[in-house]
Amino acid sequence: MTKILVIDDEKDIVELISYNLEREGFFVLKGYDGEAALKLIRSHNPDLLILDLMLPRMSGIDVCKAVRNNPDTANLPIIMATAKADEADKIVGLEIGADDYITKPFSVKELVARVRAVLRRRKDDEKLHLKGKFSYRGLKIDYASYEITVEGKKATLSPTEIKLLFFFTQHPGRVYSRDQILDHVWGHDTFVTPRAVDVHIKRLRSQIEKDINDPQYIITVRGIGYKFSETQISET
């Protein structure tokens, strides 16, 4: 059974979310602060985390960073919840590694739909079974093991960033618009906006590029979108 961890300091919200997710057949774990979130992740290995931005003892931002920086949990899908409607807060959530976000007050049906969409994308990723390895200017990818290194140092990426990198390196040199990237990486049932593509690419660059102001891998094509550099690509 799919395990979902819900972390929010408002117990009524946790109970509401839990009740509706359990009705959909999910097993729900509950926590009410940031430190509890990390303990529950370590002890129960959930399949997805719904994480409030504003938490006592340890903020949602710090929890998200800790999850992404731990190799054992780096691939855990995260949906960030925030009471703030300001786009800046949504962008912060994506920049620190959240896979999706939802703004309070939210429709429970929408949250369930987002949960299913994120889990479906994760399952689709696992079905890809990409084989072989990829190497270009110090960037090395083992598609089967999901191991990514830059100049010998392991890169810690979220599931969305991994899928972005796999997509680009499978199609080097081809330019894709933000909408095309959304369709290929997030899927047609996405709730994510084209603006989120920029945020995820910015974070991806921060993990793999030597200089994010002069990227060598993920190249911006002004007025169109993005591409992976097409020169001297080698695959094995």
Tokens of 102: 């939802």
Alpha carbon distance 33, 55 (integer Å): 5
pLDDT computed for residue 99 by the predictor? 87
Distance CA 154, CA 213 (A): 21
pLDDT attached to residue 189: 60
The size of the chain, in residues, is 236
Phi, psi of 171 (to 5 degrees): -135, 55
Q: b/e per residue, 128-150, with b = 16+ CB within 10 A?
A: eeeeeebebeebbbebeeeebeb
Does residue 183 contact residue 79 with C-beta atoms inside 8 Å?
Answer: no
What digits encode the pLDDT tens for the residues 9-62?
999 999 999 999 999 999 999 999 999 999 999 999 999 999 998 899 999 999
Position 215 scores a pLDDT of 95
Contacts of 20 (CB under 8 A, 6+ apart): 108, 111, 112
Residue 222 to residue 81: CA distance in whole angstroms: 32
Helix or strand run (H / E) with residue 52: strand 48-52
* Amino acid identity at 171: H
The mean pLDDT value of the chain amounts to 88
Count other Cβ atoms within 10 Å, centred on residue 32: 18
Question: For the residues 175-189, what does the mean pLDDT come to?
Answer: 85
Domains and CATH numbers, the chain: 3-126 (3.40.50.2300), 130-235 (1.10.10.10)
Cα 211 to Cα 194: distance, rounded to the nearest angstrom: 24
pTM, two decimals, is 0.70
